[in-house]
Amino acid sequence: RKVMERLNASFTSVQFGTGVVFILLVVAISTASGWMDDSLATARLAQSINFTVTFVVWGYSWFKLLQPRQAMSVVPDGSRLLTVGFQKIYHTSIHIFNNHTPLAWFYTSIAFSDSATQALLIIGITYSIELLNFSAVETGITVFILLVSSSVGCFVSPLSFRRMSPVRSNQLCIFLIALATAGVALFISNASQKGLFYLFAACVSCQ
């Protein structure tokens, strides 16, 4: 368990840390090129870097690092390769709901909470641009704060797991995210509160 906690924290911190490097790279190139006030040019630059790095990394890993291996299972008679995976998920879900009801509801809550967390970033950026009139630079600062705070949260979460059960830790995390999100809706209403928005962004993402 401790090994998995350490590996999960390390992987997530590397993931978010790479995002921080990406933001800093985009800001540095935009500043050097004089594009800081041009949101369209900054967006094109970011997508160009994203596509180039992804193409190179995924291409190398796909053709060089992935080795041939034998199939781990055989497609049952009467089934198709395109549908057998969905059939296994269905039968596994039925088994969990019939024999492990608490686990089933836990997985359901994880599915909804993860989807909400992923959507929160998009909603937050849209909120900051439309209501607070954030520029491309200020939006980049927001994303930077989110990524840095998330990296900090990766190292805090194992401590929470050790002091309470993973289920209680997850419930506390969801509650704090909801509380911080409600704080944004209740207390931030105009463009003069950008500093407070940064604070709430850090509170949401460090959970």
**Structure tokens belonging to residue 153:** 């949260």
Angle at 126 between CA 124 and CA 132, to 5 degrees: 85
Instruction: Report yes or no: 144 and 201 within 8 Å, Cβ to Cβ.
Output: no
Write out pLDDT tens, residues 87-121.
888 888 899 989 988 888 888 887 887 777 777 77
Question: Which of the residue ranges 84-98, 156-170, 172-186, 188-202 would you say has the lowest mean pLDDT?
Answer: 156-170
pLDDT surpassing 70 at residue 207: no
Average pLDDT for residues 144-157, to the nearest whole number? 74
Look up tokens 């909801």; give the residue.
178
pLDDT surpassing 90 at residue 56: yes
Half-sphere exposure of 90 (CA within 13 A, CB side): 5
Closest residue by Cα to residue 198 from 96, 127, 130: 127
pLDDT at 137: 73
Looking at the whole model, is its pTM more than 0.85? no
Q: To the nearest whole number, what is the mean pLDDT of the chain?
A: 79
pLDDT at 52: 92
Measured distance CA(26)–CA(31) in Å, rounded: 8
Closest residue by Cα to residue 141 from 84, 199, 95: 199
